[in-house]
Structure 1
């Protein structure tokens, strides 16, 4: 299982960290200049925040595609990007006023539209639902539109972040994995990964930043560790160690090497 380190600091893309990063479109869209990536990264669409705050997407598919093309060209090393999907958490449904099935239909329709607009971009389909049966229904909806999910390099699974440690989510992941899908679990954390890491291909989390809010800063300039690269890399290393897993090509010592270089430079 590969683990993408979620970050709200786009500048980290330019560092040789040895770990794949996940950066939100919301953090990149308004930047005049973009960092040049030194390694693989993925672009999250920021849909959870967008729908939670506004109850709708405020950009259209063409604008999102234009942004992704810019990222792919100027940042480079874009491994995949999330679509403009619709989450199905209760508070998101309350904000949009729509049902789970409406959100599923919108998610699938958006993926189809983005694929038509930009077939060259590595946009992945995402499954959104609440129950095991409805996740499979969402998968069936893609299949009815001639999207063979089992033939794709990655299929996202959304709306599991706040319940990712539960037995139900483990069952969801294993049910979808049994269909031959290579899954990416959005927002999966240690408790959840401990249950189903063997059933998925990749996952991501920025939980290190929330945890870092309550940790005193490692330097006088850091009031906390919520924005600290060394803290984030240490958290990433400990997570992978706790799962006893290692992604292909990932060297666990590279994050430690980077932290050591930073400490030497600051002396």
Structure 2
């Protein structure tokens, strides 16, 4: 299980060889891009797009152009997420959750899934040489199984894909429902990436996933004083804290599912 640190600090790619997960927009808006020292993956920024606008504001062709610039300037990435459509109820209906305002797409889960699969197919047709991964979206287990079937009907065998993203689970990752979703999809032979998985979720189902990412280190750092010798107010934007947090999380996993830290 490869565990990516999620960050908005794009220059971290030149400072650490540990896996990083960054939004494409953070690279796109940068005047200077640095060559990556280690592995990294690229998030499309879909959560923010749908939360703020209820739709995608970047066309697929523009997104592909952004990915090619990242690939050529920063270096080959492990994979990039498509422009998928999350299926949390607040994302669809709108409202407030966790202090964040959601405008709502006011579409159905089935329509979100259809658009997710269609976007993946379009992106792959525009850039067959880029490692863009399919993402499974849904809310309840039957939704995810229906999404698997959508890919199958489109000619995509998810069991042959090296990574398949699992969306709309991060806010309930430690629940029995989320565990059932991960377990069932893993039993299908699908190699999952868990978006936004934290300690409790990793303890339960980390061994069933190929990879996961988390930005929880930053939230933890805001609640604590800075590390010894650090002059800032807190370490919410601090690479040293992020790396130490990552090591603690991985060391806390059951010994039989711990990855090799140097390679993870």
Specify which of 227, 230, 237 is matched with residue 227 of structure 1: 237
Aligned runs of 1:123-134 on 2, under 5 Å? Answer: 123-134=132-143
What pairs up with 1:200-211 in 2 under 5 angstroms? 200-211=209-220
Output aligned runs, 1:37-56, within 5 Å. Answer: 37-56=36-55
Gaps of 5+ in 1: 255-267
Contact 2:17 2:39 in 1 (8 A): no
Whether contact under 8 Å (1:2, 1:246) holds in the other structure is: no
Counterpart in the other structure of 2:11: 11
Question: Does the CA-based 8 Å contact 1:42-1:80 persist in structure 2?
Answer: yes
TM-score, normalised by the number of residues in structure 2: 0.92
1:58-106, CA deviations, whole angstroms, 9 ceiling, x for partnerless residues? Answer: 0100000000001111000311000000000111102111110010000
Count of paired positions: 251
Q: Is the 8 A contact 2:17 2:37 kept in 1?
A: no
SS in 1 for 2:79: strand
Matched, 1:196 2:205: yes
Indicate the RMSD between aligned Cα atoms, in angstroms.
Answer: 1.4
The alpha carbon displacement at 1:26 in A equals 2.4
Partner of 1:69: 68
1:220, distance to aligned residue in structure 2 (A)? 5.4
| TM, length-normalised to structure 1 | 0.91
Alignment of 1:1-267 (within 5 A): 1-15=1-15, 17-94=16-93, 95-218=104-227, 219=229, 221-243=231-253, 244=255, 245-247=257-259, 250-251=261-262
**Structure 2: gaps spanning 5 or more residues:** 94-103
More off after superposition, 132-141 vs 209-218: 209-218
Aligned-pair CA distance for 1:27: 1.5
